Structure 1
Amino acid sequence: MIELWTSPEAWAALLTLTALEIVLGIDNVIFLSVIVSRIPARQAKRARQIGLALALVFRILLLSLLVWLIGLTQDVLTVRGMGFSWRDIILIGGGLFLIAKATHEIHAEVEARDGDGDATPRTSAFFWIIIQIIVIDMVFSLDSIITAIGMAQDLEIMIAAVVIACLIMYVSSGPVARFVAEHPTTKMLALAFLVLIGVALVADGFKFHIPRGYIYFAIAFSAAVEFFNVLAKGNRRKAVNRPTAGSRGH
């Protein structure tokens, strides 16, 4: 253990793996921000805290089951000459769930049904959101940890990277969730990202890997455009509300 703290290679692996885990955690933060936007602020905060705590627990639990986890990458089903492992099946199921959930939310936003939020009792809505968070946490955790195993050999480094990444996700999730809730166009963009991420997960399950760099670049570029759009709207609103020189004189 002491050797790890004094090894430059271990520190380089920790920094690299932490950066990767943070990037992979973007998917989790986007999903949490969107899914909690339909419940009251206090419940939304609790849901985010529970979701991120579960994300950390799932990742550490999976790291402690390395032998079992590596076994998930072995083919258990063959369809027309294409083998599928449990990891592939989980990624396909999680991706389809993300696509279905995001499509449903987009439909609700477009229809703008005022009574949609009150159709379900708040307790049931909160419980249902937690169930969905658990499902997606399991999918994202599996994808994240299998990637981590390929990059680092020491369990201590992997656990440290996961803990640091989850802490950063926790700090960033609040502002992101508030921003998404306050700007409807941003929420629509986030839902489009979830569809894109779901398609990437399904593609991975079918052995067609879409480089994550392309997806994250598209997300970053679209988010930057939306940020300037929100900034421009705010400036126009201030200009409209600002009293003119003539009105001050009267």
Structure 2
Amino acid sequence: MNELLHLATDPGAWAALVTLVTMEIVLGIDNLVFISILSNRLPPEHRQRVRRIGISLALIMRLALLSTIAFIVGLTAPVFNLGIVGPLGSHGEPAFETAFSWRDLILIAGGLFLIWKATKEIHHTVDPKHESGDVLDKTGVVISNVGAAIFQIILLDLVFSIDSILTAVGMTDHLPIMVIAVIAAVTVMLLAADPLGNFINANPTVVMLALGFLLMIGTVLIAEGFGVHVPKGYIYTAMAFSAGVEGLNMLSRRASERKHKKE
């Protein structure tokens, strides 16, 4: 209790909390985009439930990982080394390295899964399979789809949760600040899940853009696993620019539709 009172009166702690909450929300966007795209493949009556389950699992995983901080930090220790090192950069650090820790392996596996999933979704969007009958009306198929969606969400929740907690550990030493930041970020994800999912579902071109984001995020995760540091600012700036261009395209299409209706 004394520690909480001390943190509550410490301006530095408040600054760390605001910064960490912002970082956790930004990191949570990647997780939320994946959950939204995956849930939109399900029948409408199951989408909200799967989103809620996915985000709740993200919160549970993050809080569980926070309770084992010493173990999580230990995941950054190399477990094997292939002895391959890239050329040194301007700061004296190698461009890449092959001294892999458990965190690196998890990031690489998560990146490969994201690239595979995004590529599969792009193929489905570009060349959808025409099946006879409404298979989604079959209870067994629906349950299977919901179960498969939740399983895939769990896998990516794990990857994003580890990245999120390691970021929190690197920014502050105070566990209460980490817990509050994680809960605040996941609450924002929970509030934004349905609007984002509905927006993506209502705008087909945004789906392709979001899948492109997932491909980029997957590539960055693999690069991070090989020790290649990609500044997050570049990634989010590219995403914001692309989203801005897509927003202008949407406004242009709506203006064109209104013009045709008046004619």
Q: Which of 35, 38, 55 is 1:35 aligned to? A: 38
Partner of 1:139: 159
CA shift, 1:80, in A, is 3.0
User: Which one of the candidate residues 136, 145, 148 is aligned to 2:168?
Assistant: 148
2:29 to 26, 30, 34: 26
Cα deviation for residue 236 of structure 1 reads: 1.5
Q: Establish whether residue 239 from structure 1 lines up as the match of residue 259 from structure 2.
A: yes
Question: Secondary structure at the residue paired with 1:25?
Answer: helix
Q: Partners of 1:161 and 1:36 in 2: how far apart?
A: 26
1:234 CA drift (Å):
1.6
Q: 2:232 and 2:120 mapped to 1: Cα distance?
A: 24
1:7 to 2, 6, 10: 10
Alignment partner, residue 247 of structure 1: none
Q: What is the rounded CA distance, in whole Å, between the counterparts of 2:75 and 2:83 in structure 1?
A: 20
Where does residue 63 of structure 2 map in the other structure? 60
Q: Name which of 97, 111, 114 aligns with 1:98.
A: 114
Identical counterparts, % of pairs: 46
Residues 167-212 of structure 1 show CA distances to partners (whole Å, capped at 9, x for unaligned) of 1111112111111111111100100100000000000000001111
The AA in structure 1 aligned to 2:23 is L
Task: After TM superposition, give the deviation of residue 114 of structure 1 in Å.
Answer: 3.5
Partner of 1:115: 131
Range with bigger deviation, 144-153 or 231-240: 231-240
Note the aligned Cα RMSD (angstroms).
1.5
Aligned residues: 243
C-alpha distance in 1, partners of 2:165/2:45? 31
Equivalent residue number for residue 218 of structure 2: 198
Deviation at 1:139, TM superposition (A): 0.1
In structure 1, the partner of 2:101 is: 85
Q: Secondary structure at the match of 2:250?
A: helix
1:224 alignment partner, one of 216, 227, 244: 244
> Counterpart of 1:130 in 2: which secondary structure?
helix
2:199 paired residue number: 179
Which of 73, 81, 93 is the aligned partner of 1:70?
A: 73
Moved more, 116-125 or 183-192: 116-125
Amino acid at match of 2:253: K
The structure with the greater share of residues assigned to helix is: 1
Equivalent residue number for residue 248 of structure 1:
none
Between the aligned partners of 1:15 and 1:106, the Cα distance in structure 2 is 36
TM-score, with length taken from structure 1 = 0.94
Alpha-carbon separation, structure 1, partners of 2:108 and 2:236: 20
**Aligned amino acid, residue 202 of structure 1:** I
Q: What secondary structure is seen at the aligned counterpart in 1 of 2:80?
A: strand
* Structure 2 residue identity aligned to 1:6: T
SS in 1 for 2:214: helix
Aligned equivalents of 2:67 and 2:120: distance in 1? Answer: 36
CA distance in 2, matches of 1:184, 1:114: 18
* TM-score when normalising by structure 2: 0.89
